[in-house]
Amino acid sequence: MSFFRNAAFAAAVGVAALGGTALTSLTPAFAEMTVEVGGAPMYPSKNIIENAVNSKDHTTLVAAVKAADLVETLQGDGPFTVFAPVNKAFEKLPKGTVETLLKPENKPTLAAVLTYHVLPGKISAADFIAAVKKGGGEAMYKTVEGEELTIKQNGRRLEIIDAKGDKSFVTIADVNQKNGVIHVVDTVLLPKS
């Protein structure tokens, strides 16, 4: 019994000697409920960019965000809802599309494609499902780019339909961020223009 009392006393003295900061500075990392995306934990205390750069499944998206000069925007207060295409989603595009979009002269087009994946506000999967039910099977959302996306429920999955009628599915929902939420998707969404 005295061993446990002594151990507790030593721990208390150690924390007090460190000003109590060592334990509290570690606590948030352990207390946060993270979701793993691309082999990395996504921390709700970090912003969209701080988390996305750690996902090995989103290297193309991160490169595109940098090329379009949207890093500062997505590090802002938001809140934002981001449909984040994985690398394989970009590979589905016609050959050479990504390389063409990443050229400096195509920055406005790239920015339009990327902001078409962003909705203002923080919208959870449950919010989308409720809106789809209320809308009789679909819900429309205006993107930051200006055009709309259609959301439907396909079985247990959320389906996002772009302006061209192409479909993308949410593969990981509700990856909470300090400035919004990410929903990982399997296909790049494209606006009409």
pLDDT digits (tens, 9 = 90+) for 139-169: 999 999 999 999 999 988 999 999 999 999 9
User: Is pLDDT above 70 for 54?
Assistant: yes
Mean pLDDT over 60-81 rounds to: 91
Mean pLDDT over 18-44 rounds to: 62
pLDDT the model gives residue 51: 87
Any idea where the domains of the chain sit in the sequence? 32-185
User: Is pLDDT above 60 for 14?
Assistant: no
| Span of 35-44, 50-59, 152-161 with lowest mean pLDDT | 35-44
pTM exceeds 0.75, yes or no: yes
> How do the residues of the chain divide into helix, strand and coil, expressed in percent and rounded to 5?
40, 25, 35
Alpha carbon 55 to its chain centroid, in Å, reads 10
Q: From CA 52, how far away is CA 182, in angstroms rounded?
A: 9
More confident residue, 3 or 54: 54
Element (H, E) at 172: strand 167-177
Mean pLDDT over 178-184 rounds to: 93
- Name which CATH class applies to 32-185: mainly beta
Mean pLDDT over 112-139 rounds to: 96
User: Is pLDDT above 80 for 61?
Assistant: yes
Burial 88-125 (b: 16+ CB within 10 A, else e): ebbeebeeeebeebbeeebeeebbbbbbbbbbeeebeb
Q: From CA 49, how far away is CA 114, in angstroms rounded?
A: 13
- Which token pair is 165? 């009628």
- Which token pair is 27? 């606590």
Mean pLDDT over 92-100 rounds to: 92
Mean pLDDT over 53-57 rounds to: 90
